[in-house]
Chain A
Amino acid sequence: MTPTPGRRGRPRATRATRLLVPAVATTFLLAACSGGAGGGGGETAAPSSAPTDGVLHLGLLNDIGQPPDPDIYYSGNGLALTTNLYEGLVRYEPGNHEEAAIVPSLATEWQANEDSTVWTFTLRDGVTFHDGTPFTSAAVQASFQRRLDVGGGPAYMAEGIASFETPDDRTVVITLEEPNSAFLDSLASPYGPRMISPTVLTEEAGDDFAQTYLSTASAGTGPYRLTEARVDEVYEMEAFEDYWGEEPTFTTVEFPVYTDTSAMQLALDNGDLAGIIGAVPSAAQAGYVEEGVLDTYSLPTFQVGVLYMNPHRDFLATSEARTALFEAVDWASVVEQVLGEKSELATGAYSRGALPDGQDTKEIRHDPAPLAEYVGTLPEGTEVEIGHAAGSADDAQIANLVAAQLQGLGLAATVTEFQTSEVFGSFAGDPANAAPDVYVASGTWPDANNPYLYGHVFWDEGGGLNFLQCTDDDATAALAEGLRTGDPAAYVAAGEAITEAMCTPTFAYTNDFVVTQPWLGNVEESHTMAEPYALDFNTLTIVDE
């Protein structure tokens, strides 16, 4: 039979195919209509039940970027791994968010001579490495030496050692080349020297000091051992059965890698993740707090928000000009508007708690008049380039707000994003040509909270975080004096000098914003100020719901 032609002489569809089309169309329509439902931020979060298999799923936003090898790793989110796989002689006290107190880890006691050049440590008994090797004083020297051999970013913390003595298996005497009152903080830093099995370092040395081996396995003494490391995909740790400390509630901790914040938040909201540590964007934090379905924590850290101003530009060459620019910005409003739940206005030159209470104080003023007056003396249309790190929504927003406020005062402010490799590379090498006029960083932190270690990296010439190389001779001298004597007065003087010079001023103290399922307990006590993006997973618990 010849089919009946439809309009314009074309054949008609069969019944089945006619049904298929609306079905497909409906699917797309539903997808399109769901657009206004919001995306994460707790708007539709539903708490999950506690796991019964002992597995804790926590999201990592982006890969950790480097192998979880303590002598190589020198970044942020991977601390969740390295601090649970490896331990040092001492550490910053977990759960203490008031001060940077150093407490025992693999060393139970320590003492220094009067000028801080000879340090004697008594080692903990009954500790074994992940491969079964007993922890003795011999391992300490091998671990320090390996750090120097690898020569990674944190290698500097093992430099300046004149000699090691190991009078017995439980005692180590470290003699420094020069007085160093910050030495103990270097050891407590999450990037400080970590103990690695000497057996593994020998047997798996290869031609790279066991770097290949330790990119997918662990040989520390931590409560967990690395069982899987698939870059850009997933990392997994299992509880170390011979750990010297308390037995963990969670036998496995899994970190699926997410490359999109919204997708990670959806996974948390759906209950597929137990929590997100430090990676929820500021804009979404209020949603979680207000809804209250999931538990939220804003936990103090050593992180600071700082404004870099380029002294190698004529119009920012003087401390008066930099002061005028810094004070022209309404920082209280910027911090509240952008950083919200996880931040507060800075009240000192150093990171929070670097000096005892009341010794590190400053007041951030808001007075646009001096800059308005100064702009009047500059050529019309003077341009200001404000830089921020690519991929940081917070920094981008702050940079835009600062630009808007400067534009209101007559400067032609523009915003540019920079890749990590540019910030850590060419900025400091050639700040006059390769760096912007101003650079915003809302969440950067020193390796440790000793005032010397803070000041050295942010203020000294060549300091790793002194991106625009703004220095002050008085501050540098005071820091050196503080390192030698440990005298807080020297550090106070350094802070006052750098504030006067208006080099790299702080504008915010930044917290770790942590969101978890309600069944996850002991979160606050498992967090350490020095370790952003990390928790002690072995002390987390499951609470009754």
Chain B
Amino acid sequence: MARLRFIAGRLAALAVLLLVLSLVLFVLQEVSDADPVASTLGANASQEAREAARERMGLNDPAPERYLDYVGGLVTGDLGTSFRTRHPVADDIGTYLPATLELVLGALLVALVLAVAFAVSSVLRWRGAGLVRGLLFLGSTTPTFLLGILGLMLFYRDLGWLPASGRLSDRGAVDGPTGLVVLDALLAGQPAVAVDALQHLLLPALALAVGPALSIGRVLRSGLVTTLDADFVRTARAKGLTERRVLARHVMRNSVNGALSMTGLQLGFMFAGALVIESVFSWPGLGSYLGASIPVSDFPAIAGVTFVLGAIYIASNTVADVLQGAADPRIAL
């Protein structure tokens, strides 16, 4: 019951936050000097053409009316029509979001693997752990786009192991149902296509994962260090449990709370980072969509993407909180 109340509270907060977000975006658009009509029609459009476009785009209505119309549309799932693509923004987001989700989920997986490797190797003092720590630190302090370019130069140009751009070598190889091409290829029984999709995914996911991996790994390492010195761990060893069992059953479970919380935060940051990485790898996701929409002041598109990312950010933190509670029932939600 407490958990349900917690989730309901978070959903209510999400609605309020998105409303505030929509207002902020709208005001910013209003006070900016950008003119979507001019950028849509370009130079030399006649005054008549400009006026017709303003009318068509609803820009002649009073600002409060436009804002209320926009919010009303949001409630019904209508995010407006993109000035640039001329498609409904909801449809555009449906097209682009799966690519971003696949990239972020892939990066999250890589980040978790690296974080655990970093934390465990540090705590257990494996040979080479210092090097891993140093490289992760170096990677996390390197701008994400530079990491992507360096990855391209090594793995695409020099070694030729991985592709440089896009999600698949043959774009038409798989189509739906989820939009996550690795999963779709597996569902369609096309393992070769799934491998190709993974090859396309690996480099951008790795570039996106390095920074978050260090953040998560540091928190996990701190938790592990504290827990390994706890009395119950000594007791578990004294009972004759193998070290692997001690680590997996007792130490890890009691050390992950902080790491889970950090993972929730980092997941949100990963969506922000994806906007940069998508540009480097020509990944056709929300980042590419947003990047092309900003210069032409495509407000419906910019606002739509911001809403979706805002919602995902809050939702991911909510999930992290719920998982914390599940991992450690002592934490009251």
- Chain A CB within 8 A of B151 CB: yes
- Chain A CB within 8 A of B310 CB: no
- Chain B CB within 8 A of A377 CB: no
Closest B residue to A11 by beta carbon equals B243
Instruction: List A contacts of B86 (CB < 8 A).
Output: 67, 211-212, 215
| B141-171, CB < 8 A from A | 145-147, 149-158, 160, 164-166, 171
- C-beta contact mask, A147-173 vs B, less than 8 Å → 1, else 0? 000011111100100000000000000
A424 touches B151 (CB 8 A): no
A262 touches B149 (CB 8 A): yes
B48 touches A256 (CB 8 A): no
Out of A10, A65, A230, A464, which one reaches B43, CB within 8 Å?
Answer: A464
Instruction: List A contacts of B318 (CB < 8 A).
Output: none
Out of A3, A231, A422, which one reaches B33, CB within 8 Å?
Answer: A422
Out of A10, A44, A233, which one reaches B166, CB within 8 Å?
Answer: A233
A425 touches B38 (CB 8 A): yes
A10 touches B123 (CB 8 A): yes
- Chain A CB within 8 A of B222 CB: no
- Chain A CB within 8 A of B64 CB: no
Given the known inter-chain contacts A11-B124, A263-B281, please indicate yes or no for A425 contacting B164, CB distance below 8 A: no
- Chain A CB within 8 A of B138 CB: yes
| B240-295, CB < 8 A from A | 240, 242-243, 247, 278-282, 284, 288-289, 291-292, 294-295
Instruction: List A contacts of B149 (CB < 8 A).
Output: 39, 260, 262-263
Instruction: List A contacts of B48 (CB < 8 A).
Output: 151
- Chain A CB within 8 A of B330 CB: no
Out of B53, B132, B157, B164, which one reaches A25, CB within 8 Å?
Answer: B132
- Chain A CB within 8 A of B41 CB: yes
Out of A2, A154, A391, A457, which one reaches B295, CB within 8 Å?
Answer: A391
**Docked CA distance A352–B42 (Å):** 23
A65 touches B45 (CB 8 A): no
B135 touches A419 (CB 8 A): no
Instruction: List B contacts of A7 (CB < 8 A).
Output: 125
Q: How far is the CB of A368 from chain B (nearest CB, A)?
A: 32
Given the known inter-chain contacts A3-B243, A10-B124, A22-B131, please indicate yes or no for A232 contacting B289, CB distance below 8 A: yes
Out of B120, B151, B237, B247, which one reaches A31, CB within 8 Å?
Answer: B151
Out of A17, A29, A156, A457, which one reaches B46, CB within 8 Å?
Answer: A156
Out of B40, B45, B240, which one reaches A155, CB within 8 Å?
Answer: B45
Given the known inter-chain contacts A32-B150, A34-B153, please indicate yes or no for A63 contacting B128, CB distance below 8 A: no
Instruction: List B contacts of A152 (CB < 8 A).
Output: 41, 45, 49
**Docked CA distance A266–B33 (Å):** 37
- Chain B CB within 8 A of A92 CB: no
Q: How far is the CB of B276 from chain A (nearest CB, A)?
A: 10
B34 touches A425 (CB 8 A): yes
- Chain B CB within 8 A of A35 CB: yes
Given the known inter-chain contacts A151-B48, A230-B284, A232-B288, please indicate yes or no for A18 contacting B127, CB distance below 8 A: yes
Given the known inter-chain contacts A155-B46, A159-B46, please indicate yes or no for A24 contacting B278, CB distance below 8 A: no
Besides A155-B45, A155-B49, 5 more A-B contacts (Cβ < 8 Å) are A22-B131, A35-B153, A215-B86, A426-B34, A464-B42
B: residues with CB less than 8 A from A are 32-46, 48-49, 52-53, 84-87, 96, 114, 117, 120-121, 123-129, 131-132, 135-136, 138-139, 145-147, 149-158, 160, 164-166, 171, 228, 237, 240, 242-243, 247, 278-282, 284, 288-289, 291-292, 294-297
**Residue contacts A-B, CB under 8 angstroms, 18 given:** A2-B240, A6-B125, A10-B123, A10-B124, A32-B138, A34-B150, A34-B153, A62-B292, A65-B296, A151-B52, A232-B288, A234-B171, A258-B165, A420-B295, A422-B34, A424-B42, A424-B43, A464-B42
